[in-house]
Structure 1
């Protein structure tokens, strides 16, 4: 689930018993966001309903540009997930190495069983 959308955040938290938090370093998040945005813009990739990434130059003029949003929301999103500690089980995976170990660890077999 995406926990960033204000409209559904309360309902999602109320129904969740566990949250897997991908707490990557800021540099990793921004590098991935920039690469993905540039790739989508250069390839004129359709995102949804015919929408495309806005001009890369608009990062300087559009306060809602995805790159500016990523920069501004990183800290806020971390604080939101931290606030869940004590309400639900929060599994914090900090960095891609921890994500890979989680995905190939003991719970990997559980996912395989559910897929059958």
Structure 2
């Protein structure tokens, strides 16, 4: 695995950003896309239909954008993960400390709920009390999936040898990595 200071040669053209809920996958993906001058496609926007239903076009849309020569996206949704890995050249793994990830996820969820922020296709965060009643609540899901990600990403070294994995363990490393991408494109 590579780190924040390692040179990526050739520069990344098809990039996945992996990590548990709340670590900043989408924000980092947008920043990477801007730094290297390629389009970012947000998977949540392709996946979530009205009423939190799965859009029937999801898998085809992922197929379509990953067929292009350049893109950045998040590595999520089991049904498309293999395709994403097959077509990517670089994965950036945001493996931030548990407390940082949870705090960010909690803060984001509460802020979105209190502001009734409209997310994808008119959806809003459910009431906060559903944390207790719904297993799939984003806070519970984020806690439950952390260790799964810590098993899955390292396993890619064997199953996807074409994929460069950049392991970032702090926000400082994320900043350093993105800054190096910006310098490399000037």
TM-score after normalising by structure 2 = 0.57
How far has the Cα of 1:78 moved from its partner?
2.0
User: Which structure 2 segments of 5+ residues have no match?
Assistant: 1-72
State how 1:84-99 maps to structure 2 within 5 Å.
Answer: 84-86=156-158, 87=161, 88-99=163-174
Name the Cα RMSD after superposition.
1.3
Tell me the secondary structure at the aligned position of residue 165 of structure 2. strand
Instruction: Indicate the residue corresponding to 1:56 in structure 2.
Output: 128
Alignment partner of 1:110 is 2:179: no
Instruction: Indicate the residue corresponding to 2:175 in structure 1.
Output: 100
Tell me the secondary structure at the aligned position of residue 157 of structure 2. coil
How far has the Cα of 1:37 moved from its partner?
0.2
Alignment partner of 1:28 is 2:100: yes
Paired residues in the alignment total: 111
Q: List per-residue Cα deviations over 1:27-61 (Å, max 9, x = no partner).
A: 11110000000000000111111111011111000
Alignment partner of 1:37 is 2:72: no
